[in-house]
Structure 1
């Protein structure tokens, strides 16, 4: 059952208002995640943490409950108001983010980040389902790609705002400020967004998201039925583990690049905030939109186009990323550029892999939406996110910190650089899994 919001068909133009609001909420979602990366140095200095400890807190502390609670929350979202669930989720994760500013040690901060994970468990899968019920199939990859704009927007905002607030007012103030902002936004989100009829956008491609007289909602099937359906589809596992492989490196790099810029490139906290926020913003926006647009075009001809698009992007991104990490030495030495010129060259090159590595978001999340009927979509998305985030966040952020600690006796201050090098293999694995998924997707597709 749902609340009364799902009984009236929305105007076609209203779906763009909903999408913009969902992007804003997703921006806060990633702002609260990414802010930890830019604050790594002052937090580590105050609490005396190693890279491995910080990686454990940024990864496992957040991901453990974030991924596991997403399943029962998605089950509820397939039966009750998705808007109310997202409103509560935004309030909870923002409140715990603010609480991070009052902790007294590693243990308390670990618990506070677990609280952030509890709240964010209800923030993404219901949004995927809402977007799929507002936009027709022919526009779904682009709509989900636009929703994913929240990742670079939030990453850039978290890095810039968090870094500058930490420089001028301390890292604790940064947590409190962004947390309070989310709490204020929660009731506004509840007033703006309404639940559309489930499956309404599936009835006619290119038509308004819902007919003039909405059909009665289809009851959500039991959880076990959703699991059984997806378990029998090889493309679900290939897409999920392909996304997880990319996220191991994606989340890990996003969390540790600010530290790399400070250690290996000699940037200050303030300089890193500006430098990395620009890379995350411009590279991420371009890559995400390009991935969604290309996948919609290729997917109209063949379903294989959805996973092939990011697979090719990953194969191109790996050498570009390695070049970007060494562009300072390359252009500062062989190229004869000064320090500022080498940094500028590195900035431009970093834009390419940053964008390509996020190109999977629109195509793969759109494909997952088509592996299950409309009443199962939220739960199917949560199962996909369980695999993606449990490996991507919990393993990725901790992996780079642990390997950095292990390599420190050999490479010293450059151990983080070599740790990031080793992670590039996860992008290659993701490309292989997506290529394999392209062979099975058409057979598993649900129109």
Structure 2
């Protein structure tokens, strides 16, 4: 008999998805108001990119700590504390008078957000199995592109309403952008109240029957994960995705707006760019995330390696579409937005699948640690550096734009390359002039070249996902075997030994090493490509 989803489980997933939504709203509201922040603080592209890089750096550094805590302590209270911390930090950041203090507060926001992102997927993992888990993870990951899109729209609406009747310079001078950071903190407070009174924390491994597996030391956990080829390759593939998405999400609204400026007559008004980009981010997520989850569920019935293949093909198609969008932005804004939209759909195929693969190839008591390590690596090598790196590349390309396309300000940059102070002053003066004619052309072209290079990293991600296809089934079946053993009281000591052992990549059988003959016969050595919902009966996954 198939276990039914209870109302309390729906409520729990709803709360988690709401928090994920405001999490990404908070991140990308800053991207929507970045142009005004740069003007207010008098900073260039590199410093603008550093705001996101610093946030992600703090976020990824704290993820392992919260992963370790999430595998051992009450996740409900860890979530509450983290969300309250990040909400307060965002609110305080809106009052910071200078760039450095604002940068520090963005780092502090990253610390709070690390608590949520590492822990939330493990709660869904402990509530559901098989296709239900995949579906719920797809719902959970809806919030990534949708939240990002709402962040762009929120920031744009704040600038539009607060700066109504003002010129761009007046809006920057009045620092209207600060109100954009004063909305999500109150949503965070609501989320904390919902967690405290409505969210029930499930036992770790509850729905798989693995709740008897004991936690082990952090060193044992890390050894297990680093020797798990499926986990490592999944992490590296996802790192390429985050590298591209981090830079694209941060710089795209600014880039498209500059594309409007360099055209004699654009078919999209500049004031609508951030709203349109936010809308296409949401819609592409609403299409791409469930489509990826659906393709994974349907195809792996006949082709067990489907999950990584879908991820790999998705970004292989996305990369050329986004690069083409980059190079059409100076001729046809609408066409560029449409190409980017289809590219984002294929890019979004991977979000729920990557999380699902991470969960079903790692045992329940190590999933928060695995989530933390995936976050650490994917952000360290991915979107922690890509916004800043793209800003640096753009500043570098700006010095190479031919002089006949530049104003005196850009010429000064080229002439005074040896003088850091003079170069910095020139870049800032270029940034501070939103109507700078040829200066905008230089900024646009430099961002265009940088964005094309960054997007090409998707091709590297395809290689890792295809490589992962050779290991995914073996890794999943090993986890299934360990979890099934944990239900038998006679094997608890032996299972503890399996869990503490290093990950054995040498065996290709669907049984754990030295497994009793009785268990081998029960499993029959078959390759089980998914955990069917029917394997859990009674009230094991029900609200008790």
By the TM > 0.5 criterion, same fold?
yes
The answer to whether structure 1 residue 44 and structure 2 residue 38 are counterparts is yes
Cα shift readout 1:60-85 (whole Å, capped 9, x = no counterpart): x1122211211111111111111111
- Structure 1 residues 11, 245: CA separation in 2 closer, same or farther (over 3 Å shift)? closer
- Kindly report which structure 2 residues correspond to 1:177-188, keeping only aligned pairs within 5 A, or say none: 177-188=183-194
The answer to whether structure 1 residue 121 and structure 2 residue 117 are counterparts is no
Q: What corresponds to 2:203 in structure 1?
A: 197
What SS does the aligned partner of 2:115 have? coil
Q: Distance in 2 between matches of 1:101 and 1:348?
A: 34
- Structure 1 residues 385, 442: CA separation in 2 closer, same or farther (over 3 Å shift)? same
Native 8 Å contact 1:137 1:201 kept in 2? no
The answer to whether structure 1 residue 260 and structure 2 residue 248 are counterparts is no
Report deviation, 1:393. Answer: 2.3
Native 8 Å contact 1:55 1:398 kept in 2? yes
Q: Which of 367, 372, 375 in structure 2 is aligned with 1:377?
A: 367
Q: What corresponds to 1:399 in structure 2?
A: 389
The answer to whether structure 1 residue 286 and structure 2 residue 287 are counterparts is yes
**Runs of at least 5 residues in structure 2 that lack an aligned partner in the other structure:** 163-175, 262-267, 402-441, 481-544
- Structure 1 residues 217, 172: CA separation in 2 closer, same or farther (over 3 Å shift)? farther
Q: Which of 54, 58, 77 in structure 1 is aligned with 2:70?
A: 77
Q: Which of 208, 214, 219 in structure 2 is aligned with 1:219?
A: 214
What SS does the aligned partner of 1:358 have? helix
Q: What corresponds to 2:47 in structure 1?
A: 53
Q: What corresponds to 2:491 in structure 1?
A: none
Q: What corresponds to 1:176 in structure 2?
A: 182
Q: TM-score scaled to structure 1, two decimals?
A: 0.89
What SS does the aligned partner of 1:148 have? helix
Q: Which of 474, 477, 489 in structure 2 is aligned with 1:443?
A: 474
Q: Distance in 2 between matches of 1:175 and 1:316?
A: 35
Q: What corresponds to 1:140 in structure 2?
A: 133
Native 8 Å contact 2:327 2:448 kept in 1? no
The answer to whether structure 1 residue 409 and structure 2 residue 403 are counterparts is no
Q: Distance in 1 between matches of 2:25 and 2:35?
A: 18
Q: What corresponds to 1:423 in structure 2?
A: 454
- Structure 1 residues 165, 193: CA separation in 2 closer, same or farther (over 3 Å shift)? same
Q: Distance in 2 between matches of 1:270 and 1:24?
A: 29
Q: Distance in 2 between matches of 1:192 and 1:92?
A: 20
Q: Distance in 1 between matches of 2:390 and 2:197?
A: 41
The answer to whether structure 1 residue 295 and structure 2 residue 296 are counterparts is yes
Cα shift readout 1:305-361 (whole Å, capped 9, x = no counterpart): 1111110011111222123334456xx6xxxxxxxxx44443333221111112111
Report deviation, 1:298. Answer: 2.2
Q: What corresponds to 2:226 in structure 1?
A: 231
Q: How many pairs does the alignment contain?
A: 416
Q: Distance in 1 between matches of 2:385 and 2:104?
A: 18
Report deviation, 1:374. Answer: 0.8
Q: What corresponds to 2:376 in structure 1?
A: 386
Report deviation, 1:14. Answer: 2.7
Q: Aligned-pair RMSD on alpha carbons?
A: 2.0
Native 8 Å contact 1:164 1:273 kept in 2? no
Q: What corresponds to 1:91 in structure 2?
A: 84
Q: What corresponds to 1:14 in structure 2?
A: 8
Query: Which structure is higher in helix share?
Result: 1
Native 8 Å contact 2:256 2:333 kept in 1? no
Pair member with larger Rg: 2
Report deviation, 1:142. Answer: 2.6
Report deviation, 1:179. Answer: 2.0
Report deviation, 1:117. Answer: 0.4
Q: TM-score scaled to structure 2, two decimals?
A: 0.73
Native 8 Å contact 1:138 1:300 kept in 2? no
Native 8 Å contact 2:250 2:387 kept in 1? yes
